[in-house]
Structure 1
Amino acid sequence: MEDSNYIRVFTGSFIISQRIVQDLEAAGINAIVKDESESGRLAGFGSSIQGQQDLYVNKDEQQAAAKIIEATASELDA
């Protein structure tokens, strides 16, 4: 994603990523989910790291997204 208005804000498991996406959407922030293992599986290739997803948001929303991600992550750790 070079020369893009999007920046990676989180990398983690499918379950946590989906919860963060849900919280971001509730705040009006659209996240892009990149899952290379799923893309590889659909193309017929394997991946050594299963279930890891990258979340990207618009650079203008990075600070707001970071606060939401931090709050969600601390809630899930409790």
Structure 2
Amino acid sequence: MSDYTKIYTGNSMLTQRIVSELQKMGIEPVVKDESESARLAGFAANIDGDREIHVHNDEVEKAQSIVERILKEE
């Protein structure tokens, strides 16, 4: 079982904003970029695919409230 939970999937611009806000609150997220992983492995991939933000299970509730606030502002 993983110690991390996915809290958001979306485009790179919004992902960067969310990551920045999480870091300001002392949360270090993990960003998964499947298209970048595929590109590095030599496979064709969507140039700007969705990214996933994962946070430690202890920080999920706090992180989700930050994501919800940012999404409401959009």
Please give the TM-score of this superposition, normalised by the length of structure 2. Answer: 0.92
Q: Which is worse superposed, 45-54 or 17-26? A: 45-54
1:36 and 2:44 correspond: no
Aligned to 2:54, which of 51, 56, 71? 56
Q: What is the aligned-residue identity percentage? A: 43
Runs of 5+ consecutive residues of structure 2 not aligned to the other structure: none
Rounded to whole Å, the distance in 2 between the matches of 1:35 and 1:19 is 15
Cα RMSD of the aligned pairs, angstroms, is: 1.3
Change in CA separation of 1:11 and 1:49 when aligned onto 2, cut-off 3 Å: farther
1:51: how far off? 2.5
1:47: how far off? 2.4
1:17 counterpart residue number: 15
Runs of 5+ consecutive residues of structure 1 not aligned to the other structure: none
Please give the per-residue CA displacement for 1:32-59, whole angstroms capped at 9, x wherever unaligned: 0000001111111022573210000011
